[in-house]
Amino acid sequence: MSIEHNSSLPPVLRPANPPRRELSEIAARFAREVRGAVDGVVVSGITLATADLRAGEAFVAIRGVNRHGAEFVHAAAEKGAVAVITDDAGADIAASAGLPILVVDDPRAVLGDLSAWVYGTGADDPLPLLFATTGTNGKTSVSHLLEGILDQLGVVTGLSSTAERHIAGEVIVSRLTTPEASEFHALLALMRERDVEAVAVEVSAQALSRHRVDGIHFDVAGFTNLSHDHLDDYADMEEYFEAKLPLFRADRSRRAVVCLDSPSGAVVVERAEIPVVTVGTPLIAADADAAGRADWVVTIQDERASGTTFTMTGPAGSLTTTVPVIGPHMAANAALAIVMLLEGGYEWRRIVDALDRDGGIRAYLPGRTQLVSGDRGPAVFVDFGHSPDAFEKTLAAVRRVTPGRVVMLFGADGDRDASKRYDMARTAVEGSDILVVTDHHPRFEDPESIRATLVAGARRARPDAEIHEFSPPETAIVEAVALVGDGDAILWAGPGHQDYRDIRGVRTPYSARELARRALRAAGWPVPEPRWPVPYPDED
C-alpha cells in the first residue's frame, strides 16, 4: 500500500525535532528477519506514504487491495528512505532498491507499536491528556465541544477530527477521520513539543479495525450512539458495533463515558472492561426510562436557531448552559463532552464557572448544523450528517426552530454503503415539507443513478411529497433558495465542513457553505461574513 501523491491533500505533520532511533534497535525489537546491513543507520520517522516521506525515515510497505506498497520502494529510496519495513512478499519486491529491510509478519498490525516507540508516544511516555470519542454520529461534534470547553478553561489544546487537526491554535484540514498510526504518533509528538495539555480525538470503527490507534492509551473514551452506517466496510451492524468495542478495553482506555440514548449504549456499558459513567437525554432516547436512570441526565430547556439550552444533573451537581447549535442531540453531545472532562480530572466547579462566565459553551463546530444565513430571510443550515439517524435528529431540530416550511437538500456518497440510501431518502422526505435531491461525492459511480435511487425511495415513502431533483449542487442550492422565503429553512445535509467533492478520484474544490451564501446573496438576502476559508476564486 502506498498513499499516492495528491496536491490537494493536506500534509502529514511531524515533530520539529524528529527522533533519532538506531535501526539496529528497531530490528531487535520488531523484526522477525533482517535483510541487509542495519548497523549505523539512524531513523528519524516512520511513514506509509511515499508522497510525504522525508529523508531519514523508514518506509513501511503494506499490501493494498490492488498493489503492494513495496512496489513504490524505489520512489521511497529516491526521497531518502533509509530502510523498508514490510512482510515477506514485500521484502522480495523491495530487494532491488538496496535498502536494509526489516521483515515482520503484518506491517499494519505492528505499525502502531512501532510508531509509538520511534516517536516516544506510547502508554508509558509523557503525553497530553487524551480524550477519544467513538460512535456513528456526533464524534466530530463531541471532539470540537471538548476542545471548545478546554479553551474556555485556559488549556492548550490539540484536536484530531474528521474536519480538522488543531495544534495549540494552528488549524490543518484532515485527511481521514482518524490518521494512520504513523501519522497519529507523529502528530502526538508534535503536540507534545508545542506544550499541548489535552487532545480530543475522533476514533472511527475503521481506525480500530485497521490499527490506526494502536500504541495509544486514552485517558477517557466516550461513546455517542450506533445507527445504520458503514456497511460497505462491515458485513452487518453487529460486526460494525463489535469493531467499536475494543476502545473500551483496559489496554486502550482508562475510563469511559457512555451515552444511553441509543440501545447500543447499554451494551457498551455491559461489555466495557473499564470504569464507566453514563449520560442520558430522555427526550430523544430510544428508551426514555433507561436514559433517565443514567448517572447524568440531560433536560432540554430552550431551542433556538442560535443554540440549545439544557440542564445536566448528576453526582457532582447541576449545570444549565447553552450549546451554540440546534437540537437536543447536540445538547447530549455537549453533556457527554462535559462529563468526559470531569472524568479526565478537570474540576466540576472550574467547568461550571467557565461556562457561566462566558454565557455558555464557546465552540466552533464546522459543518455541524451550521447556520450560514443572516438575520432575515430563510435560515440555511449546512450539516455533515449522512445517515438516516442523523437526518431524523437534525430535521426534527430544524423543524422545532422554524415557523415556516422546511426544505431538505441532500445527496448520497458514491462507492459507499448503498444499503442506507432508501432509509436516508425516507427519513429526508418524511421530515421535510419539500425535498431536493442532488449530488454529493459520486466518486466512480454514476451520479444520475444515485439520484434516481434516492428519488424513488422518497416517492415510495411519500407519493404525495413535493420532490425536486437538480444537478449539480451549485444549481440545487440556487433552486432550493428560490423555493423558500422569510421564516422558512433549508437543511443541506452531507457536505458539512468539506471543501471538495470527489468526482472520479479528483478532489474538486467545493464548499456548500460558500455556495449557500452566494445563493442567498443572489436572492437578495443578507449573509454574514464566513468564518472559514473559501476554496473558490473570487466572484466576478
**In the prediction, which pLDDT does 5 show?**
34
Cα–Cα–Cα angle for 399, 400, 402, rounded to 5 degrees: 60
pLDDT tops 80 at residue 471? yes
What gap in Å lies between CA 305 and CA 467, rounded to an integer?
25
- Which residues is 317 bridged to in the sheet? 314
Identify whether residues 98 and 227 lie together within a single domain: no
pTM, two decimal places? 0.82
Identify whether residues 343 and 236 lie together within a single domain: yes
68 is a domain residue: yes
- Least confident range from 137-146, 503-512, 528-537: namely 528-537
533 is a domain residue: no
Identify whether residues 483 and 446 lie together within a single domain: yes
**In the prediction, which pLDDT does 176 show?**
52
pLDDT tops 90 at residue 320? yes
419 is a domain residue: yes
Top-confidence residue, 59 or 420: 59
pLDDT tops 60 at residue 173? yes
Phi first, then psi: what are they for 263, rounded to 5°? -55, -30
Spell out where 305-442 has E strands.
Answer: 307-314, 317-323, 370-371, 379-383, 406-410, 434-437
Q: What is the mean pLDDT of residues 367-393?
A: 89
**In the prediction, which pLDDT does 33 show?**
97
pLDDT tops 80 at residue 526? yes
pLDDT tops 90 at residue 525? yes
Domain end position, chosen among 57, 92, 119: 119
CB atoms within 10 A of CB 75: 16
Say whether 58 sits in a helix, a strand or coil: strand
Top-confidence residue, 171 or 20: 20
- Which residues is 57 bridged to in the sheet? none
537 is a domain residue: no
| Averaged pLDDT of the chain | 91
For residue range 208-250, list pLDDT tens digits in order: 988 889 999 999 999 999 876 545 666 787 888 888 999 999 9
- Least confident range from 201-205, 367-371, 468-472, 514-518: namely 367-371
pLDDT tops 60 at residue 534? no
**In the prediction, which pLDDT does 174 show?**
59
- Least confident range from 1-10, 373-382, 498-507: namely 1-10
Record the cell numbers describing residue 116, joined without a space. 509509538
Identify whether residues 310 and 377 lie together within a single domain: no
**In the prediction, which pLDDT does 536 show?**
43
Record the cell numbers describing residue 150, joined without a space. 478546554
CATH classification of the domain holding 194:
3.40.1190.10
pLDDT tops 70 at residue 3? no
Label residues 167-196 b or e (16+ Cβ within 10 Å = b). beeeebbbbbbbbbbbbbbbbbbbbbeeeb
**In the prediction, which pLDDT does 389 show?**
84
Please give the single-letter amino acid code of residue 72. F
**In the prediction, which pLDDT does 231 show?**
59
pLDDT tops 60 at residue 1? no
CATH classification of the domain holding 25:
3.40.1390.10
Q: What is the mean pLDDT of residues 21-33?
A: 97
Domain span holding position 282: 129-358
Q: What is the mean pLDDT of residues 410-424?
A: 92
Domain end position, chosen among 98, 119, 140: 119
Please, which residues have CB within 8 angstroms of residue 242's CB and are 6 or more apart in sequence? Answer: none
Domain end position, chosen among 358, 392, 417: 358
Identify whether residues 172 and 84 lie together within a single domain: no
306 is a domain residue: yes
Identify whether residues 384 and 454 lie together within a single domain: yes
Identify whether residues 212 and 185 lie together within a single domain: yes
**In the prediction, which pLDDT does 92 show?**
96
CATH classification of the domain holding 412:
3.90.190.20
Q: What is the mean pLDDT of residues 432-436?
A: 98
**In the prediction, which pLDDT does 2 show?**
33
What percentage of the chain has pLDDT greater than the value 70? 94
**In the prediction, which pLDDT does 233 show?**
65
Identify whether residues 385 and 441 lie together within a single domain: yes
Domain count for the chain: 3
**In the prediction, which pLDDT does 93 show?**
97
For residue range 182-195, list pLDDT tens digits in order: 999 999 999 999 99
414 is a domain residue: yes
Q: Determine contact, residues 300/279, Cβ cutoff 8 Å.
A: no
pLDDT tops 70 at residue 533? no
Identify whether residues 181 and 294 lie together within a single domain: yes
3: left (phi over 0), alpha (psi -120 to 50) or beta: beta
**Distances from the Cα of 116 to the Cα of 14, 28, 226, angstroms:** 13, 16, 30
Q: Among 347, 219, 200, 334, which residue's Cα sits nearest to residue 274? A: 219
94 is a domain residue: yes
Identify whether residues 338 and 396 lie together within a single domain: no
Q: How many H helices and E strands in the chain?
A: 17, 26
Identify whether residues 383 and 514 lie together within a single domain: yes
**In the prediction, which pLDDT does 366 show?**
80
For residue range 103-125, list pLDDT tens digits in order: 999 999 999 999 999 999 988 88
Q: What is the mean pLDDT of residues 40-53?
A: 93
What gap in Å lies between CA 311 and CA 230, rounded to an integer?
33
60 is a domain residue: yes
By DSSP bridging, strand 83-86 and strand 317-323 are unpaired
Q: Determine contact, residues 92/35, Cβ cutoff 8 Å.
A: no
Identify whether residues 143 and 286 lie together within a single domain: yes
**In the prediction, which pLDDT does 78 show?**
96
